[in-house]
Structure 1
Amino acid sequence: MIDIAVQTHDFDMAALYQKLSRRAAHGAVVTFTGLVREVAGGDLTHLSLEHYPGMTEQALQDIAEQAKARWPVGEIIIVHRVGTLALNEQIVFVGVSSAHRKQAFAAAEFLMDYLKTRAPFWKKEHTTTGERWVEAKKSDEAAASRWQQREVEP
């Protein structure tokens, strides 16, 4: 099962974990939750995230299907928030269940790397001195590109 949501409202990590852990055959559940964090300089007031409805959900679905094709995982849940988010608010949840931990960890890491570089979200930082669009980081691109050189891992 793949469960994708793009939403303005917050999500409940415990409820999402429960959905991931309902199959007895899956002995591993790996989750990642990203929070709005302070930027260098300490002047962030909030973030604005925009997306293109329909295109964004399809891109997330495609990324999740790529993970399922690479690793024997069961459930994948991706929740990404859009709109205005304050410091320390939850912004993204990625969860993966699998029979074994290695596959669950690898799939979750792959999902986050691809979300950061291939999902159509536009992020603007609002600071005490103005606002600026967030550009892609070379480190995020490097993290995502390493998956193109890897074969399916056990």
Structure 2
Amino acid sequence: MFKEFRDFALKGNVLDMAVGIIIGAAFTGIVTSLVNDVIMPPIGVLLGGVDFSNYFLALTMDHAPASIEAAKTAGVPVLAYGKFINAIINFTIVAFALFIVIRQMSNLKKRIAKGEEAAPVEEKPRQEALLEEIRDLLKARS
């Protein structure tokens, strides 16, 4: 059983998947920062100073906190739909980046396959081919 597990774990696909997951996690951190720190502030300015990450709806009517942090401190349950909007934008950017990477890899594979198929064997000029046939026939007669 240990041998089977070792064989499974050391297959190329499993290692490739593990590397992909680790790189994906690191990439997610980069994209989250891109969304929260680079993309959303200009969008907020264009929309009149809107900061989506601080949009929320308090679920209790007796106390309306000024921010999500204040709500958490006071123990007020909230629906943080602004953070959800940021998460949707984050997902869209990650999905688009993966689409571009997969598309480029697919195009590269097609070019490599086309290059292997397109390498035609150079044919000799017709005169040389005929001369070689004549030579071979003369060798066969003698």
Whose strand proportion is higher, 1 or 2? 1
TM score, norm. by length of structure 1:
0.22
Relative contact order, CA 8 A, sep 6+: which one is greater?
1
TM score, norm. by length of structure 2:
0.23
Structure with greater Cα Rg: 2
